[in-house]
Amino acid sequence: MDKIKNESSAEEKILAAAKKVFTSKGMAGARMQDIADEAGINKALLHYYFRSKEKLFEVIFFEAAQKLFPRINLIFESNSTLFEKIEKFTDEYITLMSENPYLPLFVLNEVSKNPEVFMKKIWGKQNIPQPQKFLTQIEREVKSGNIKKISPLHLLINLISMCIFPFVAKPMIQFTLGLDEMQFRNVMEQRKKEVAKFIIDSIKK
């Protein structure tokens, strides 16, 4: 029992260290030695638990994905107003991306290799996005004259794109605008409200 507990504790320590290293150095810049040093263990022990940096990253990624998709589905399926859903969506999405800024590029790389296999692996049977109620709600609001005429599909794509793009283009944005890590995080924190406001202002009458 103690052995199982110790192994679980060691894995948690490694995952916490890996998240910190991946966040500061990105997937490409992180080294197994960096992660071992951060976790306070030797590299051999790190390889005992996780064979490669890629395998370690995959574990972290799917852990984050399993947190995000159920939350997004809860927002889609809720009885909140359309504007409330937009606000909640941007907050949840940007919060998780801020905690795991390396995820979008990892997804793009993996999707380009084998999109069908990767998406099935990510979503499984329980995490498949269910945006239909959200799309139907947008369509109903348009028909009722409560918001401007807009394609529900394009509104959803706009919402997702505006949340994800800054993290995909993070190195370029930081370099071009001269933002350090803390400044970038502050901008993303502000963006939770800015994106929601921009989208809502663009569709409300």
Residues 9 and 89 in one domain: no
> In this predicted structure, what is the pLDDT of residue 108?
74
Residue 162 and residue 83 share a domain: yes
* Per-position pLDDT tens, the chain of length 205: 444 445 568 888 898 888 888 877 767 778 899 999 999 999 999 989 988 888 888 788 777 777 777 888 899 999 999 999 999 999 999 998 888 777 777 777 767 777 777 677 666 656 677 899 999 999 999 999 999 999 999 999 999 999 999 998 988 999 999 999 899 999 999 999 999 999 999 999 8
Quote the strand ranges of 6-63, DSSP E: none
Residues 45 and 64 in one domain: no
What are residue 204's DSSP bridge partners?
147
Are 25 and 115 contained in the same domain? no
CA distance 107 to 153: 21
87/154 same-domain check: yes
Tokens of 70: 């159920």
Q: Give the span between the Cα atoms of 44 and 14, in whole angstroms.
A: 13
Residues 39, 87 within the same domain? no
If asked whether residues 39 and 72 sit together in one domain, one would say no
Backbone conformation region of residue 178, classed left if phi is above 0, alpha if psi is from -120 to 50, else beta = left
- Domain CATH number, residue 46: 1.10.10.60
Question: What's this model's pTM, rounded to 2 decimal places?
Answer: 0.76
The domain total for the chain is 2
Cβ neighbors of 77 (< 8 A, separation 6 or more) are 130, 133
d(CA 43, CA 111): 30
Neighbours of 174 (CB within 10 A): 16
Instruction: Indicate if 43 and 72 belong to the same structural domain.
Output: no
- Domain extent, residue 111, equals 60-203
Domain check: are 33 and 71 in the same one? no
Which pLDDT belongs to residue 7? Answer: 58
One domain, residues 46 and 76: no
